[in-house]
């Protein structure tokens, strides 16, 4: 399989933001509708709040990633993406824990909507990244498979 690197100057963050934002915008109203049907107005309000909070976290994560200016180096890009993702999950968990006893909030509707939005955002962000065809590893050195030469056919001792 031939690897085609991304165009010079292409912005992986814009591609991931576009790829994740639209599908996530579809999930939010569906979650609010399901919450309203299942639990009434309080549940719908809570689901809407969960949707807004989660989408704000993930959009902000894209802004942070673009500010880190890590797109040029594949290893730095991957490391910063993992760090931002972990930070987003921890912060979202802290918000959910802080609001779990709020009497004005349906915690189940809020939490399930935030979880659904988080999952949809992450899946479509990864899909958009893969479609951008950015290298995330160094090209193998010419001439070998992990230090062995093509003529090295000796069997390893058992």
pLDDT in tens, 60-93: 888 787 777 666 677 777 788 788 888 888 887 8
What's the CA dihedral at 4, 9, 12, 17 to 10 degrees? -140
Closest CA to 51 of 10, 4, 104, 110: 110
Instruction: Give yes or no for residue 8 having a pLDDT over 80.
Output: no
In the structure encoding, which two tokens stand for residue 45, read together? 């309000």
Q: Which residues contact 97 (CB under 8 A, 6 or more apart)?
A: none
Specify the pTM: 0.68
Burial class of residue 66 (count of CB atoms within 10 Å of its CB; 0-12, 13-18, 19+)? middle
């Amino acid at each position: 399989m031939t690897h085609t690197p991304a165009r010079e100057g292409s912005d992986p963050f814009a591609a991931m933001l576009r790829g994740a934002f639209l599908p996530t915008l579809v999930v939010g109203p569906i979650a609010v509708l399901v919450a309203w049907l299942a639990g009434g107005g309080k549940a719908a309000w809570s689901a809407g709040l969960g949707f807004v909070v989660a989408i704000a976290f993930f959009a902000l994560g894209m802004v942070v990633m673009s500010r880190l200016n890590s797109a040029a180096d594949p290893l730095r890009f991957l490391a910063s993406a993992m760090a931002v993702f972990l930070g987003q999950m921890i912060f979202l968990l802290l918000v959910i824990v802080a609001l779990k006893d709020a009497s004005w909030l349906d915690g189940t509707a809020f939490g399930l909507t935030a979880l659904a939005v988080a999952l949809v955002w992450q899946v479509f962000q990864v899909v958009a990244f893969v479609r951008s065809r950015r290298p995330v590893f160094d090209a193998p050195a010419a001439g070998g498979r992990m230090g062995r030469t093509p003529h090295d056919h000796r069997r390893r001792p058992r």
